[in-house]
Amino acid sequence: MFRGKKYKESAKQIDKAMLYDPQEGLELICKTASAKFDETVELHVKLGVDSRHADQQVRGAIVLPHGTGKTARVLVFAKGDKADAAREAGADFVGDMDLVEKIQKENWFDFDVVVASPDMMGVVGRLGKVLGPKGLMPSPKAGTVTPDVAKAVKEVKAGKVEYRLDKTNIIHCPIGKVSFGAEKLYENYAALLGAIIKAKPAAAKGQYIKSCVAAATMGPGVKMNAAKQL
């Protein structure tokens, strides 16, 4: 795999064999970030569970103390008063069948999060095949299927992130931007990791957190000592 000169320079400053104290690791990420844009810092947490089993799923959502540094575009499926409340709360798109048709006919996906009131799930269900693979299908666990759509919109706008296992039993989640600095990134990191630990399934056996790596968009991964987090 070809790596650019800046990446190689950054990589030289990071000891691949070392487990960094989280604050030290995040300081290193901020120091070595070299892109011309404000890079996103992502956390990748490998868990000792098997995502193929329903009783070992790990999924939820948390409002990060300092947000993600990006304002998410929110689409809400709701009618009547709930639709009005969603608009007032700052939803970017609000509708019902009209939005279903727009997504189906125009292959339109100019949004980051989908929220739905429970009475709309019959309609939203028709989009399962297109929203599901993109991780956009609303769910009660993530707080995106709720009677209080206005509250859900406000939380998403405040920096709520959803975490969920992928097929390789890893959770990938943004914890902010390099410009936040190490302290704010650490507070977001601790909040997210704390939520993942709390969400440990009863069926999980052995070591729960196998590895924890943080990286900026264009930078190398830094291994974190997850046992030292909170």
DSSP string computed for 2-30: ---HHHHHHHHTS-TT--B-HHHHHHHHH
- What's the distance, Cα to Cα, between the start and end of the chain in Å? 36
Q: How confident is the model at residue 12 (pLDDT cuts 50, 70, 90)?
A: low
Cβ neighbour number for residue 169 with a 10 Å cutoff: 17
Closest listed residue to residue 144, CA positions, set 133, 125, 160, 123: 160
Mean pLDDT along residues 84-101: 95
pLDDT at residue 18 tops 70: yes
Closest listed residue to residue 222, CA positions, set 71, 29, 84: 29
SS3 95: strand
The pLDDT score that the predictor gives to residue 30 is 92
What is the C-alpha to C-alpha distance for residues 131 and 121, in angstroms, rounded to an integer? 13
pLDDT at residue 227 tops 90: no
pLDDT at residue 20 tops 80: yes
The pLDDT score that the predictor gives to residue 86 is 97
**pTM for the structure as a whole:** 0.81
Residue 131 to residues 67, 104, 150, 178, Cα–Cα distance (Å): 24, 10, 21, 30
DSSP letter assigned to residue 164:
E
Residue-wise pLDDT for 68-81, tens only, equals 998 899 999 999 99
The pLDDT score that the predictor gives to residue 32 is 86
Place of tokens 């999980």: 204
pLDDT at residue 7 tops 70: no
Q: How confident is the model at residue 46 (pLDDT cuts 50, 70, 90)?
A: very high
Closest listed residue to residue 223, CA positions, set 46, 6, 5: 46
Percent of the chain with pLDDT over 90: 73
The pLDDT score that the predictor gives to residue 3 is 58
Buried b (16+ CB within 10 A) or exposed e, 38-68: ebbbbbbbbbebebeeeebbbebbbbbebbb
The pLDDT score that the predictor gives to residue 112 is 93
Q: How confident is the model at residue 10 (pLDDT cuts 50, 70, 90)?
A: low
pLDDT at residue 181 tops 70: yes
